[in-house]
Structure 1
């Protein structure tokens, strides 16, 4: 390929268009389903606790699935893994539409869908590296992150509209059709490739951790995924923060929407001004600075508008860090362990976010939402020093190694 890769050049590839669209439509459907499930469970139980538990089931099992099944996308053709997961999730989502389905069965089906989402993401990230060259992959990750942010914003909003105008089950039925559409896109437009061929004995969680921990640069990126513990704070305390300012629920949505807008703008600017081959150079700075904008909410008199800006900037830096980490890690992992390594790193990130949500909520309850935001923002900079300095040290060692003898 000649010249600098651009999003337009990526979309000239039929395979990339199909794989990108397959993930996008199923992800959009998932956002609608999350809104529908929350409404459906609350209408049937009138319990905020059960509603929150059901919503958590759309995330938590994904961690277990990523840890335990991601290696299958190295042992089996990745396209086949993705298509199998799509069919299984379509069946599960379709079953949730059945009228009068018991709440326990509904929760089980939600857990199955979430569980399968873990290996799906790992397989998809690894498949994209087969479709795209090393030079194109970072741009592909930027495009993916931007569209996922936009899909999340519109998915939540559209889910509320569909659930009110029609029924929550209409959202679940739509979610099931998105998985069928995703299956069809992979089937029709993505080539079948042989499995990467992971040897036996590498399917355990310990083996996945080892492949990330054994090499210092991989270890630095793996450690950086744990910083999601701090970065998730705006989402965790947006509601109590708005309430503390005496503002209504509409402002909670505005605060959360500002994070998505910031991410889209920040990712576009990063792609526009930073060459793809220089992405990894910015990892240490991103680890140190991503949470720092949250400290600004402690400024007296800042109010809701300053919070919107700090939320937007912090989330923009976080999304850039994700793009940098994913596009760098995928090159550092051997192809026959790529999906497993990506799956374990994803599981770490999701776990950190889940625990961080609880931690930020406790801090907000113990002190105040402003304290939780500013403390977690400052603490993220301190915690980010470890992966940042480890990355700098390890890359300098690699650069100092003698070049191989061309003779």
Structure 2
């Protein structure tokens, strides 16, 4: 909990005063906005060719699912190698892969292969990026940095989705893909020139395979288990994004509105996160985390009863805001719970599990949208998320309460495994 307690001792201004953080922040926002361009382009392209919500959803899922495989097998590279070096290499590789996707006439099957490759290398990228952020800011400023990063990521998502939807409809999906390739290249250049390389931890154990070591790292501590279980809840919360094309079509709106609907999922986070960081005291965030996990999906239950697209967008914004706040808190807690020599691997696995859960949710939602309707698929996902969050929420409260009590009493604690 100390990682979050430091949030009161640092401000956005102090975090932005760190030059290397500013460079990393800019690089990530560029590539993140470009990613949204590409995702809108791919979904619109596939839906136009197939007129199938299921296939469009599965294609979107390909941009997410393979990430966890990359995290489990390659995240240890971010602990064995310079974390900056891993980020630069992956960004340069992603720029090259997306540039190939721009080639006219490339088949849908090859497009899916390339999208899967992008997702796969995103695993080690996320591992290195989250661990390097902790290196740049330290324990006290890390929660504030994560909050600022989440706010601007949502803002970049809003801009990327809205602009991507417009460009895909007005020009072509290939233009969006070309922009994405450029943002990856610029991100790699910024990281290479503005971030200094840091020494690699010498205490990293090499025993066991990457996969078994990663799973053991997750399962050793019940607090980690709770957080990792919470990452799977993204399977339910991301459904509005995954079938936005189908939902816009169901409501009778033009394809240009797809980007606006996708952007609405991030609007609430941009508004709520600064207020959350300001008003929710650090000592209450331990309890706030499970509450948010249990309530994030509830706004989605009301979507089938919305007669206008804009009222549904308001519900998406509320759900997205609650989700973003839980992501910031869980990442801050997890960074404190992981040892430095395994931080890249642990953070990478958590991030990729979240991404993979989103991919699975989107794929299943596409199938559900064809079985029922897009609006009811969203509502069902929101309803199921509540009981799905119970186990991790109870485990988190139980394990953190035991740990806190032991600290107060000044005695060591042994947590059941």
TM-score range, shorter chain: 0.7 to 0.9
**What is the Cα deviation at residue 115 of structure 1?**
1.5
Q: CA RMSD in A?
A: 3.0
- Is there any run of 5+ residues in structure 2 with no aligned partner, and where? 1-5, 413-417
1:326 — aligned with what? 331
1:121 and 2:123 correspond: no
Residue 353 of structure 1, CA deviation? 1.8
Distance of aligned partners of 1:59 and 1:378 in 2 relative to their CA distance in 1, 3 Å threshold:
closer
- Give 1:352 shift: 2.0
1:99/1:351 Cα in 2 relative to 1: closer, same or farther (>3 Å)? closer
Q: Secondary structure at the match of 2:216?
A: helix
Out of 269, 272, 285, which is 1:266 matched to?
272
Distance 1:185 1:226, change over 3 A: same
Residue correspondence of structure 1 range 198-209 to structure 2 within 5 A: 198-209=204-215
Q: Within the alignment, does 1:225 sit opposite 2:228 as a pair?
A: no
Task: Give the C-alpha shift of residue 104 in structure 1.
Answer: 5.2
Name the CA shift for 1:242/1:213 in 2 (closer, same or farther; >3 Å): same
Q: 1:245 to 1:100 in 2, by over 3 A?
A: closer
- Closer, same or farther in 2 for the Cα pair 1:85/1:374, shift >3 Å? closer
In the TM superposition, residue 326 of structure 1 has moved relative to its aligned partner by: 0.9
Matches within 5 A, 1:200-349: 200-249=206-255, 252-276=258-282, 278-297=284-303, 303-349=308-354
1:353 to 336, 355, 358: 358
Alignment of 1:176-215 (within 5 A): 176-197=181-202, 198-215=204-221
Going from structure 1 to structure 2, the CA distance change for 1:16 and 1:343 (only over 3 Å counts) comes to same
Match of 1:6 among 11, 21, 39: 11
Give the Cα–Cα distance (whole angstroms) in 2 for the partners of residues 148 and 275 of structure 1.
23
1:39-118 aligned at under 5 Å gives the runs 46-48=49-51, 54-99=59-104, 105-118=110-123
8 Å contact 1:297–1:303 — kept in the other structure?
Answer: no
SS in 2 for 1:356: helix
| Matching of residue 397 in structure 1 with residue 405 in structure 2 | no
Q: Distance in 2 between matches of 1:383 and 1:5?
A: 34
**In the aligned structure 2, how far is the partner of 1:79 from the partner of 1:212?**
24
SS at 2:121's partner residue? helix
What displacement does 1:400 show?
2.2
- Report which stretch shifted further, 377-386 or 315-324: 377-386
8 A contact 1:141–1:323 mirrored in 2? yes
Q: Distance in 2 between matches of 1:275 and 1:396?
A: 17
Compared CA separation, residues 55 and 394, structure 1 to 2 (3 A): closer
CA 1:11 to 1:251, structure 2 compared with 1: closer, same or farther past 3 Å? same
- Find the partner of 1:386 among 378, 383, 391: 391
Match of 2:66, SS? helix
Q: Which whole-Å CA distance do the structure 2 matches of 1:94 and 1:235 have between them? A: 25
Looking at structure 2, the residues matched to 267 and 65 of structure 1 have their Cα atoms a distance apart, in angstroms, of 30
1:48-81 deviations in whole A, cap 9, x for unaligned? 5676665443323223212211111111111111
Map of 1:373 onto structure 2: 378
Q: Give the Cα–Cα distance (whole angstroms) in 2 for the partners of residues 248 and 84 of structure 1.
A: 39
Provide the residue aligned with 2:415 in structure 1.
Answer: none
CA distance, structure 2, for counterparts of residue 96 and residue 359 of structure 1: 25
Please say if residues 306 and 312 of structure 2, whose CA atoms lie closer than 8 Å, have aligned partners that are also in contact.
no
Bigger RCO of structures 1 and 2 (CA < 8 A, at least 6 apart) = 2
Contact 1:138 1:276 in 2 (8 A): no
Alpha-carbon distance between aligned partners in 2 of 1:322 and 1:228, rounded to the nearest angstrom:
10
Task: Decide whether aligned partners of structure 1 residues 12 and 42 sit closer, same or farther in structure 2, where only a CA change above 3 A counts.
Answer: same
Deviations 1:195-227 (A, max 9, x none): 124211255222212111110110110111111
CA distance in 1, matches of 2:195, 2:189: 10
TM-score (norm: length of structure 2): 0.85
Number of aligned residue pairs: give it. Answer: 402
TM-score, with length taken from structure 1: 0.87
Residues 1:33 and 2:45 aligned together: no
Separation (CA, whole Å) in 1 of partners of 2:59 and 2:243: 19
Q: Distance in 1 between matches of 2:356 and 2:300?
A: 21
